[in-house]
Amino acid sequence: MKKLSPEEIEQLKTKAAKPGQDAMVLHPFYRGKVQVMPKCRVRDFDDFGIWYTPGVAKPCLDIKEHPEKSFVHTNRANTICVLTDGTRVLGLGDIGPEASMPVMEGKGLLFKYLGGVDAFPIALDTKDPDEFIRTAKLLEPSFGGFNLEDIAQPKCFRILDTLRAEMNVPVWHDDQQGTAAVTYAGLVNAVKMVGKELDKVKVAMLGAGASNIAISRVIIAGGVNPENIVMCDSKGTLHKGRTELQEKFKEKWHMCEISNKWDIRGDSAAAIKDADVLIALSKPGPGTVKPEWISSMTKDAIVFVCANPIPEIWPWEAEEAGAAIVATGRSDFPNQVNNSLGFPGIFRGALDVNARTITDEMCIAAALELAKVAEDRGLKRDYLIPTMDDWEVFPREAVAVGMKAIEQGVARIEMSRDELMKTATAKIKESRDVLQHLMKEGFISMGPES
């Protein structure tokens, strides 16, 4: 890449700042991003006798006798809960439940527009993991699944593991499973683009929080040799000498045991040196990752810098330092490795087959399909994975997830591949068409300038 001029760099920084500026105008204008609307006919007031008393008693009693009918008589089969305690919101940290709500509403908007899934944001005023677990279990009768969001580690691991084991609907932590699925998809194509082999690349992982721990688990299941991973937390690289982690952080200690065959001991720079791949989900930048660290990597280095809201290093700086492929978590740069490419389609597939859980194998199936969509369209260094504009991503992911759930025996409903595609496509198209119609007819304003 040619060296950018100061003027070009300033233009890129201005562009990067614009979404936040616009958000401060449009959030108070709309006063939220999601709402509840009827989905049944109301021809006249007599119809309320069907939807409410006295008619509603019949489906209530049917559910009492057959609890699984709650997925038939109500919207439960298409409804999930976006549940948080606001303790680790984006790159902002513990900002509390109220301040987390713009993010949770945004998640609901993405679920509906991209996946046709009805998602209700709920922020809990507790930091106690046991209270969180108990509350989620109490809410289970109302929802067809749960998307856990922005929960601090290490409690996020116990919350997810407990709820997955003890609930009968899919429970998913997007910062873990969602990030892992999309990152794996990008990694598969990036390695292919530079002509390297997944099981031979050295992977430096900057950050040892929920996201990178989950990513390590998924990429290992997908073919990366765990011995070739060097993970780094705020105190340095993970290795067998980090015995202080044995009792306090079992997930990190597991990585100490299975990774870093070179026994590299040092800081982030030491972890990144001679790596083929950098996967960073750590402290927001710029400046968290130094250009000289990128220069110390191997030829045709792959750099994923996915901290939000600012990547650990600006993409143009990473490229100038020698990176062949750069991905971030932002939609305003090429190669967005972002959960929004995963969770809408993955939940669409899980809900369509009424799955009891979302397994790692279902995540990998979605990731491979996500990678395949980009490959079908033609891989390029600035087109590693699809964008949210590639709407076929979401029904294709849904089909891959649904088929894997059926194969693994965790689906309550069985459908053919064609039936799954037809179902997912129809639901996603309906969501988009309704929103476009509401804007066209003026029920949703185009903004303060309109």
Residue linked to tokens 């306090």: 248
Are 28 and 22 a contacting pair, CB within 8 Å?
no
Q: What is the pLDDT of residues 89-126, one digit of tens each?
A: 977 889 999 999 999 999 999 999 999 999 999 999 99
Q: What is the pLDDT of residues 133-178, one digit of tens each?
A: 999 999 999 999 999 999 998 899 999 999 999 999 999 999 889 9
State residue 2's pLDDT score: 53
State residue 92's pLDDT score: 84
- Does the pLDDT value for residue 1 go beyond 70? no
Q: What DSSP letter does each residue of 181-212 carry, written as one string?
A: HHHHHHHHHHHHHHT--TTT--EEEE--SHHH
- Does the pLDDT value for residue 271 go beyond 60? yes
Pairing of strands 236-237, 171-173: unpaired
Predicted TM-score (pTM) of the model is 0.90
Query: Is 52 annotated in the active site?
Result: yes
Report the percent of the chain where pLDDT is more than 90.
86
Q: What is the pLDDT of residues 230-251, one digit of tens each?
A: 999 999 999 999 999 998 899 9
State residue 46's pLDDT score: 95
Are 371 and 385 a contacting pair, CB within 8 Å?
yes
Catalytic residue among 33, 107, 196, 404: 107
Catalytic residue among 13, 39, 52, 429: 52
* pLDDT band at residue 388 under the 50/70/90 scheme: confident
CATH superfamily of 177-328: NAD(P)-binding Rossmann-like Domain (3.40.50.720)
Q: Which two tokens stand for residue 267?
A: 């800081």
Residue boundaries of the structural domains of the chain: 30-174, 177-328
CATH 3.40.50.720 describes domain 30-174? no
Query: Is 113 annotated in the active site?
Result: no
State residue 6's pLDDT score: 81
Please check whether the two domains, 30-174 and 177-328, share a CATH topology: yes
* pLDDT band at residue 450 under the 50/70/90 scheme: low
* pLDDT band at residue 368 under the 50/70/90 scheme: very high
